[in-house]
Copies of this chain bind each other. A is one copy, B any other.
Amino acid sequence: MEVLAKAYRMEAEGRDVIHLEVGEPDFESPVEVVNAGCKALTSGRTKYTPALGIQSLRQAIADTYPKACKPEIERVAVTPGSSGALMLAFGVLIDAGDEVLLADPGYPCNSNFIRLYGGEPKLVPVDASSNYQLTADLIRRNWTSKTQAVLIASPSNPTGTIISPSEMTAVVNTVEELGGVCIVDEIYHGLTYDVEIRTALHDSDNVFIINSFSKYFGMTGWRIGWLVSPDTYVDEVNKFAQNLYISTSAPAQYAAVSALTEPVLAECERRRLMFKERRDYLVPALRDIGFDIPVIPQGAFYVYAGISEFSQDSEKFALDVLEQTGVAITPGRDFGNYRHLHHVRFSYANTLERLQTAVSRLESYIENI
């Protein structure tokens, strides 16, 4: 946040800042989605909807899953962003004192949702050896009598790495065997490169799936996501939703239906290829100037890079880079406690041209430290 505040101050002073700290796509919402949103507004779709969302969207979401693991519509809840989905999932799972295992580094808000319900986030350090993902073995070793759930995010923020299908199967089986539940954050599904990714619904109906229209569909500001719950939690999810937010934005829901149609999906595929092109440029370019990137990120739009060669304090490094070069990046502290002083996150939600300028500025900076 300090980086962001400083970046805005510098821009206000007329400096050219290259924003590689951002967590949202640089693309606009697809035009079909915008048009559907307007149509919803002008046709009076501006009232409360059922707490779990309009039927047409719940069905369209269910239909995005492969036939073999397609959830019944009742299990699909439309939510105000994936934040809403996390709030519901932890809400029905966590009682005071329960522990949840999470990978460190990871998305920082997860811990706060757990604490909201009096639960205890237990951060498990992960590194390149497991693709920055939890493994069945790590879960088993960190499990206690208080552990209630495990959160897996794949692709991961901040590392962009993916859990392999076989490891996911092992994780889900292990957690079930231990008597817990998996929450799987799939909000960057769709944004993967070179690899196939598989929903965890493939492995079990007894997992919670978090997803969102924000990233793949470029719809961050609409605030619309979803949760797929196990059958047994559906009623409680509904109660929580009614109490916590009454209804998700009505126009956003109608717009989201149009997101799940052919022309929009084709546009999203074009954008995915542009993200891939940027990643394919950025990772070797950063490596060339000394950043440590032990595994190539295969999803999302992030590169988690080691900076030990330049600095032992990522926060100071990020602020200094910003000050000296106008390139804004995110220090590791925003993503956990494990080796956070030695890492920064680059987002490539910016044009290839700007990425090239950023790398060139970073190169000069590094030459001079």
Contact = CB atoms under 8 A, between A and B. Distances in A.
Interface of A: 23-24, 28-29, 34, 37-38, 41-42, 44-49, 80-81, 83-84, 87, 91, 96, 109, 112-113, 116-118, 218-223, 242-252
Contact of A29 (B46, B116, B117, B247): B46
Contacts of A109: 242-244, 246
A49 B24 CA distance: 11
Contacts of A242: 109
A52 to B, nearest CB: 13
Nearest to A239: B112
A244 B88 CA distance: 11
Contacts of A91: 116
A220 B46 CA distance: 7
Number of copies: 2
Contacts of A249: 221-223, 249, 252
Nearest to A8: B50
A80 B116 CA distance: 18
A365 B91 CA distance: 43
Given A41-B34, A96-B96, A245-B84, A48 B118 contact: no
B81 A245 contact: yes
Given A47-B220, A87-B244, A109-B246, 13 more contacts: A24-B47, A28-B46, A34-B41, A41-B41, A45-B221, A48-B220, A80-B223, A83-B244, A83-B245, A84-B245, A112-B244, A118-B118, A223-B248
Nearest to A245: B83
Contacts of A48: 23-24, 220-221
Contacts of A44: 28-29
Contacts of A243: 109, 112-113
Contacts of A84: 245
11 contacts: A29-B41, A29-B46, A37-B251, A38-B41, A45-B221, A46-B220, A81-B246, A109-B242, A109-B244, A109-B246, A112-B244
Contact of A222 (B24, B221, B250): B250
Contact of A221 (B42, B80, B81, B250): B250
| Chain B CB within 10 A, most for which of A45, A49, A96, A252 | A252
Given A116-B117, A118-B96, A38 B29 contact: no
Contacts of A37: 37-38, 41, 251
Contacts of A47: 24, 220-221
B80 A49 contact: no
Contacts of A81: 245-246
Given A84-B245, A116-B116, A117-B116, A221 B34 contact: no
A250 B219 CA distance: 10
Nearest to A80: B80
A171 B250 CA distance: 37
Top 4 nearest A-B pairs (CB, nearest first) are A221-B250, A112-B243, A38-B38, A29-B46
